[in-house]
Amino acid sequence: MKRLFKYILNLLPRPLLIKLSYLARPFLAFFMRGNKHTDPIDGKKFKSFLPYGYLEPRENVLSPSTLSLERHRLLWLYLKNETDFFTAPLKVLHFAPEQAFYGRFRKLKNLNYTTVDLYSPLADVKADICDLPFEDDSYDVILCNHVLEHITDDSKAMEELYRVMKPRGWGIFQIPQDINREKTFEDDSITDKKERTKIFGQYDHVRIYGLDYFDKLRAIGFNVDAVDYTATMDAATVDKYRLAQGELIPFVIK
């Protein structure tokens, strides 16, 4: 089944693949049930996860039930175990809401929950992250994950995130990051989509963030903690949830 899935992954256009994946989810969850790995988002257990990746698929990373990836499961565990996200009365702004989270966050009675994106059908508000239609100091929590790598003027986007966050509010701004790279890499002269995919990971990414990402957030005004949450877990737990060892969570406070 995994070989077939990998073949389909490389054959179908990405938008169609996403639509089909949600139709296939119940069947995948049934046929891949087991006891080796657990999706912490819904608690379901599987003999393995599915491969996933834009260029070379990563093995055993896509949950058959929630379709979560490593970063989603890491974020869920961090929010659940280390914050009051699921219990405190919070006004939350969620950019480009992920399917693994959207329905679950929407049902939380403690949240005043708003989603925003230019194109997503899940967005309550259609808006440009560089020009947000919200008042200053509006939100207790902002989630903005795997968005900034698509934004040409990411400094302006960060300024807008800072502006609409309440004083002492907090957020998590995950990005694809090369933790072995000190400096972020950008090159606007690379315009060929295949070449951009090869270099940046996706054709619509405009940079590869390095460790200086956290300093860029600090320059905007945020207090930033680069949290290596997997460092608090043993190897068996990391493998149980199929997390990416060493992935850093950018936790920010205004």
Give CA–CA dist 45/39, Å, rounded.
6
Q: What is the DSSP letter of 54?
A: S
71-253: which CATH topology? Rossmann fold (3.40.50)
Instruction: Name the token pair of 59.
Output: 């093995």
Highest mean pLDDT among 57-66, 164-173, 195-204: 164-173
Residue 13 has pLDDT above 60, yes or no: no
What pTM was computed for the model? Answer: 0.89
pLDDT in tens, 19-29: 656 666 666 76
Q: Tokens at residue 158, please?
A: 């960060």
- Residue ranges of the chain that CATH labels 3.40.50.150: 71-253
Q: What is the pLDDT of residues 95-143, one digit of tens each?
A: 999 989 999 999 999 999 999 999 888 899 999 999 999 999 999 999 9
pLDDT above 50: residue 14:
no
Highest mean pLDDT among 19-23, 196-200, 244-248: 244-248
What number of residues does the chain have? 254
The number of beta carbons lying within 10 Å of the beta carbon of residue 7 is 10
Task: Examine the pLDDT at 8 and tell me if it is beyond 80.
Answer: no
Spatial distance between the Cα atoms of 70 and 148, rounded to a whole number of angstroms: 18
198-226 core/surface letters (b: 16 or more CB in 10 A; e: else): eebbbeebbbbbbbebbebbeebebebee
Per the CB < 8 A criterion, the answer to whether 250 and 213 are in contact is yes
Residue partners of 15: CB distance under 8 A and separation at least 6? none
- Cα–Cα nearest to 95, from 111, 112, 75, 115: 115
